[in-house]
Chains A and B, each alone.
Chain A
Amino acid sequence: MQVTMTVNGAEATGEIEARLLLVHFLRDHLSLTGTHWGCDTSNCGACAVWLDGEPVKSCTVLAAMAAGHEVRTVEGLERFGELDAVQRGFMECHGLQCGFCTPGMLMTARALLDRNPSPSEQEIREAISGQTCRCTGYATIVRSVQWAAAEEAGTRTSIVDDGAP
């Protein structure tokens, strides 16, 4: 079957089997390999992308179900050659080590800050609670999101990373 959807603002079309998952359509048909394919059981969240503005686990959405809808992936965060504030936050605050969970974390963080520009630590932890990171212990991910929130609010006074995990 043929599917057409909007991916990062551009129309994307492909000839697929109905059973193809959205994560594989993005990675294998569109070569958007920023979205990672992890547990395949909707537990780890490495495959998180936006579907019509909300983060979802693309290993548990059929590409066919996304047809006619808007998808945004980690490749769509950068604007005009400049990284998004959450991407810069992860760089500044050591929000990643191996990087496998990072694309999903970034998409969820961006969605959180769009809804709630100054989340509490608890709200950040809840927002990423469907995603697994095996490197950082989450502390630096939370700090990275806080950095981005402060950056966007214009209240950032210094880099919050003290180097400790």
Chain B
Amino acid sequence: MQLPAPFDYERATSVDHAIQLLDRLGSGARIVAGGHSLLPMMKLRLVNVEYLIDINDLHRELGYVRVEPARIRIGAMTRHRELLDSPELRRSLPIFHDAERAIADPLVRNRGTIGGALCQADPSEDLSAVCTTLDASCVIRGPGGERVVTMAEFYRGPYETAVGAAEILTEIRIPLRPNGSSAFEKVGRRAGDWPIVSCGVAVWLDGAVITDARVGLAAVGPNTTGIPTVSRALRGRPPSEELFAEAGAIAAACCTPVDDQRGSAGYKRHLAAELTRRALRRAVARLDGRES
């Protein structure tokens, strides 16, 4: 029987209560949301905790997708399945629907949360690539109040984030700009697996010219990787297959994959190029109305 090492269980009833518990219980305390990353790591003794603070009751407070004119706010306890099923999100940011279809499986998606996924900070995590692509910011609350950090500030390295000892991620904010669309592409070894490489793209057009584009890659660096060089190469140019291939080549050159059991560094670079190309193609097709 694979059980985690012993710990004490606490259940938070509000965000403030969770912060109080973290503050009181100290560094041995850890928050559990959906638990589908943390509990397997606890079973393997990769993570040991003295106190586990269950925040699933906070779904009432932090489970939401709120569309505002210039941004979308997603509560940290929003489950994968809710992101997959949200028609507003699919309309405004189809990248989420693309990504969620390929994250784990329906049963895991019933439990896992966006906040848990981001706080896990796994370099291969798909939603992290989505949020990096979309230039999201993260709202972190602690005893001293609330602060907002960019995705680049949020990640400190593999499995490390800017969320401090007595702090909790409460919300993800994604800016909305007109005339844009997005897409996500992933290659894994089998359905529901972690990606060998996955790639998010967001693109904005003014008539026939790309005004801005963003690319975010997972599994090719210590954290998910934004590729600003691609954005510079795409701005001001009309979309074309040649341009997408050029962007793919830049993405492959700018990432830092390593050999592991999922594939060689060379294969991952190939995927970074190819998936960047495919995601750009699909996002632009959506803007043209050629694809939903």
Question: Which residues of chain A have a CB within 8 Å of any CB of chain B?
Answer: 1, 17-21, 24, 40-42, 45, 48, 51, 54-57, 60-62, 64-65, 108, 126-127, 129-131
Query: With an 8 A cutoff between CB atoms, is B243 at the interface?
Result: no
Q: Mark B105-137, 1 if CB is under 8 A from A, else 0.
A: 111101100000000000000000000000000
Q: Given A20-B3, A42-B108, A57-B107: A130 and B192 within 8 A (CB)?
A: yes
Query: With an 8 A cutoff between CB atoms, is B143 at the interface?
Result: no
Q: Given A18-B6, A18-B8, A62-B9: A129 and B192 within 8 A (CB)?
A: yes
Q: Which of B122-180 contact A (CB under 8 A)?
A: none
Contact among B2, B7, B40, B191 with A129 in the assembled complex (CB-CB below 8 Å):
B191
Query: With an 8 A cutoff between CB atoms, is B4 at the interface?
Result: yes
Q: Given A61-B35, A129-B192: A48 and B107 within 8 A (CB)?
A: yes
Contact among A1, A18, A42 with B36 in the assembled complex (CB-CB below 8 Å):
A42
Q: Given A24-B1, A129-B105: A64 and B36 within 8 A (CB)?
A: no
Chain A, Cβ-Cβ closest to B44? A41
Contact among A41, A65, A129 with B35 in the assembled complex (CB-CB below 8 Å):
A65
Residues of A with C-beta under 8 A to B39 = 60-62
Residues of B with C-beta under 8 A to A57 = 36, 107-108, 111
Report the separation of the CA atoms of residues A51 and B54 in the bound assembly, to the nearest whole angstrom: 16
Chain B, Cβ-Cβ closest to A17? B6
- Distance (Å) between the CB of A122 and the closest chain B CB? 12
Q: 20 A–B contact pairs at CB < 8 A? A: A17-B3, A18-B6, A19-B3, A24-B1, A40-B43, A45-B105, A56-B110, A57-B107, A57-B108, A60-B108, A61-B39, A62-B9, A62-B35, A64-B11, A65-B56, A129-B105, A130-B106, A130-B107, A130-B108, A131-B105
Question: Which residues of chain B have a CB within 8 Å of any CB of chain A?
Answer: 1-9, 11, 32, 35-36, 39-40, 43, 52, 54, 56, 81, 104-108, 110-111, 191-192
Chain A, Cβ-Cβ closest to B6? A19
Report the separation of the CA atoms of residues A131 and B106 in the bound assembly, to the nearest whole angstrom: 10
Contact among B1, B107, B191 with A56 in the assembled complex (CB-CB below 8 Å):
B107
Can you name 12 extra interface pairs (CB under 8 A) apart from A42-B40, A62-B39, A62-B54? A19-B7, A41-B2, A41-B43, A60-B36, A60-B40, A61-B35, A61-B111, A62-B35, A65-B56, A127-B106, A129-B105, A129-B192
Q: Given A61-B111, A64-B54: A18 and B7 within 8 A (CB)?
A: yes
Do A60 and B106 touch across chains, with their CB atoms under 8 A apart? no
Do B9 and A130 touch across chains, with their CB atoms under 8 A apart? no
Q: Given A19-B4, A42-B36: A64 and B9 within 8 A (CB)?
A: yes
Do A126 and B106 touch across chains, with their CB atoms under 8 A apart? yes
Report the separation of the CA atoms of residues A18 and B35 in the bound assembly, to the nearest whole angstrom: 14
Do A55 and B56 touch across chains, with their CB atoms under 8 A apart? no
Do A21 and B9 touch across chains, with their CB atoms under 8 A apart? no
Do A45 and B40 touch across chains, with their CB atoms under 8 A apart? no
Do B9 and A129 touch across chains, with their CB atoms under 8 A apart? no
Report the separation of the CA atoms of residues A45 and B191 in the bound assembly, to the nearest whole angstrom: 14
Report the separation of the CA atoms of residues A60 and B33 in the bound assembly, to the nearest whole angstrom: 12
- Distance (Å) between the CB of B83 and the closest chain A CB? 15
Do A60 and B111 touch across chains, with their CB atoms under 8 A apart? yes
- Distance (Å) between the CB of A53 and the closest chain B CB? 10
Chain A, Cβ-Cβ closest to B3? A19
Residues of A with C-beta under 8 A to B106 = 55, 108, 126-127, 129-130
Do A60 and B35 touch across chains, with their CB atoms under 8 A apart? yes
Query: Shortest 8 CB-CB distances between A and B: which pairs?
Result: A130-B105, A18-B9, A130-B107, A54-B110, A40-B2, A64-B9, A19-B4, A19-B3
Report the separation of the CA atoms of residues A131 and B192 in the bound assembly, to the nearest whole angstrom: 11
Residues of A with C-beta under 8 A to B1 = 24, 40
Residues of A with C-beta under 8 A to B35 = 60-62, 65
Q: Which of B5, B8, B105 has the most CB of A within 10 A?
A: B105
Report the separation of the CA atoms of residues A55 and B52 in the bound assembly, to the nearest whole angstrom: 23
- Distance (Å) between the CB of B29 and the closest chain A CB? 13
Contact among B2, B4, B6, B107 with A45 in the assembled complex (CB-CB below 8 Å):
B107
Residues of A with C-beta under 8 A to B2 = 40-41
Chain B, Cβ-Cβ closest to A23? B1
